[in-house]
Structure 1
Amino acid sequence: MTKRVGLYGLLSVAAVGALFPIVWLLIGSLQTSDELYRGKHLLPAKPQWSNYLTAWTDGDLGTYLPNSVIYTVSAVAGILVVSSMAGYALARIDFRGKAAVTFGLLAVMIIPAPASFIAQYKLMISLGMTNSRLGYVLILISAGIPISSLIMRGFFANLPKDLEEAAALDGSSSLNTFARVILPLARPGLIAVAVIQGLSVWNEYLLALVLFDDDTLMPIQRGLTNFVSAETPVQNILLAATAISVLPVVVFYVFAQRQVVQGISSGALK
């Protein structure tokens, strides 16, 4: 009993520590600049809901937010399609060079993303896609495939082979078995990959700076930079813009968190 109370107490402290930045973000986004800088009051004397309207209009979030949604949905969809098939092949199909492919995926993950920007930019130039949504999404997909394929490989490896054998006896093709039998059982793993890669794609900004010349193609992080200035800092508006930018991710994670835990604990990272 004492151990359980101690464990729950420790977890409660960890939860409070994790939630504190979010609470501080929301409180600061509703304060005036004077309240935020002086720090005399924990809660705003009068919530400044207009901060959110200012952040939306002055940060041009109406342009950048849809861009981030398009990039994230497109990239995650592509990653799920490719990594699910690659993970299934690595888990179920014996082919020559399988170990080398797995090692290659691990090796690619070690390379820092900025280190490959020059090569990616030169490739986009040769393809004429330096200022293209499609080119940006394709790079995001390629960056997410290695870790996602290994996650799905671990998940598929834990599924019983009896299901595939029974489907084969019923005359089902390999592709039909994969689509109708295996993928539905892999739902927790797919959602785990979607959340992990969704967060990664949503927060990506450096590659966009390298690839895009057209400001209207930039992701939502570009809107946040409108409120970062050494001369006239507007931290309360920046906090409101940040709250708007993280809201879609938080909502998605709240609905998918159970599936994420199940997908990882089912062997996704083994």
Structure 2
Amino acid sequence: MSRIPPHKIGLYGLLAVAAFIALFPLLWMVSGSLQSLTELLSNRSFLPADPQWHNYVTAWVQGDLGVYLRNSVLYTGCAVAGILLVSSLAGYGLARLDFAGKGVFTFVILAVMIIPAPAMFLAQYKLLISLNLTNNPVGYVLILITSGVPMSTLIMRGFFAGQPRALEEAAALDGAGPLRVFWNVILPLARPGLAAVAVIQGLGAWNEYLMALVLFEDNSLMPIQRGLTAFTSAETPQQQILLAATTISIVPVVIFYLMAQRHIVKGIGAGAIK
């Protein structure tokens, strides 16, 4: 078993404190989800005296979380797939192709990122009306994709710019066309960037609710956040059920993050310094 070097004990201690501060809200949420309402409001103990596992059953049934969770998984999966496809192609073009207006195009991408998402709701909603895509999952997924493409394109551009051109030249000499070079040579090398983009945009798509509230009229099309609002009534407070529902809602995100975590730091760092 390796020992911690004495000169790094302070650093590791600081990191441990930071990790605890970051994890404490999650631990409090899980603990509160297993308490009764009386115990939760009394705030007598951090740990539940008698774990109320039925809170999760109540949250699942009363909040209709099965439908909303399915919707969020579908919307997020389709949005992330679309963002990865568009941003990887656009990022590769910006990194490798020389064309007129390249600098202007990059500037426009940066300018779009500055505009707050709610400021574009009216234009997006009017466009979806003209396309007859209101109250339609396709329209909602398209909004998620267009919202995530600008930043993702810049991240992927940084990754592709860092790849040596010799790899592409060698593949071209072997007879590979541009698309085959991109798909079989360059894209596999950009997996950390793809993972970083997938996590960043996946979290954004999973947590989006305001546009869904504007776009959807059918309650059965709403994402998981709609199920959480079922327990926020002032007349019948159910904070413990809300905490249980929230815990359920973050499970898919945590699983996805754990699967991609080894690529995230490398992906964000490499894309940011280009």
TM range, smaller chain? over 0.9
* 1:105 lines up with 2:106 in the alignment: no
Aligned to 1:67, the other structure's residue is in SS state helix
Which among 28, 33, 36 is matched to residue 29 of structure 1? Answer: 33
Whole-angstrom distance in 2 between the partners of 1:2 and 1:118:
58
Could you tell me how far 1:262 is from its partner in structure 2? 1.8
Whole-angstrom distance in 2 between the partners of 1:41 and 1:80:
45
Aligned to 2:18, the other structure's residue is in SS state helix
Could you tell me how far 1:230 is from its partner in structure 2? 1.2
Counterpart in 1 of 2:204? 200
Whole-angstrom distance in 2 between the partners of 1:160 and 1:14:
38
- Check the 8 A contact 2:154/2:271 in 1, yes or no: no
Could you tell me how far 1:237 is from its partner in structure 2? 0.2
Which among 94, 99, 104 is matched to residue 95 of structure 1? Answer: 99
Whole-angstrom distance in 2 between the partners of 1:208 and 1:265:
32
Could you tell me how far 1:265 is from its partner in structure 2? 2.6
* 1:237 lines up with 2:234 in the alignment: no
* 1:79 lines up with 2:83 in the alignment: yes
Whole-angstrom distance in 1 between the partners of 2:175 and 2:32:
61
Could you tell me how far 1:9 is from its partner in structure 2? 1.4
CA offset digits 1:239-265 (Å, max 9, x no partner):
000000011001110121111112123
* 1:215 lines up with 2:241 in the alignment: no
Whole-angstrom distance in 1 between the partners of 2:219 and 2:269:
41
Whole-angstrom distance in 1 between the partners of 2:110 and 2:133:
28
CA offset digits 1:18-71 (Å, max 9, x no partner):
000000000000000011000112211111110000000000101100000000
Could you tell me how far 1:267 is from its partner in structure 2? 3.2
AA aligned to 1:30 is: L
* 1:267 lines up with 2:271 in the alignment: yes
Q: Could you list the runs of 5+ residues in structure 1 that have no partner in the other structure?
A: none
Quote the RMSD (CA, aligned, Å): 1.0
Which among 132, 136, 143 is matched to residue 132 of structure 1? Answer: 136
Whole-angstrom distance in 1 between the partners of 2:60 and 2:17:
34
Whole-angstrom distance in 2 between the partners of 1:104 and 1:2:
50
Whole-angstrom distance in 1 between the partners of 2:273 and 2:28:
33
Q: Matched residues, percent identical?
A: 67
Q: Could you list the runs of 5+ residues in structure 2 that have no partner in the other structure?
A: none
Whole-angstrom distance in 1 between the partners of 2:93 and 2:104:
14
CA offset digits 1:198-240 (Å, max 9, x no partner):
0000000000001000100000000000000111110000000
AA aligned to 1:16 is: F
CA offset digits 1:154-180 (Å, max 9, x no partner):
011111111001011111100000000
- Check the 8 A contact 2:76/2:202 in 1, yes or no: yes
- TM (norm. structure 1) is 0.98
Counterpart in 2 of 1:228? 232
AA aligned to 2:28 is: W
AA aligned to 2:187 is: L
Aligned residues between the structures: 270
Counterpart in 2 of 1:165? 169
Could you tell me how far 1:268 is from its partner in structure 2? 4.4
CA offset digits 1:89-125 (Å, max 9, x no partner):
0001011100011000000000000000011111111
AA aligned to 2:14 is: L
AA aligned to 1:106 is: L
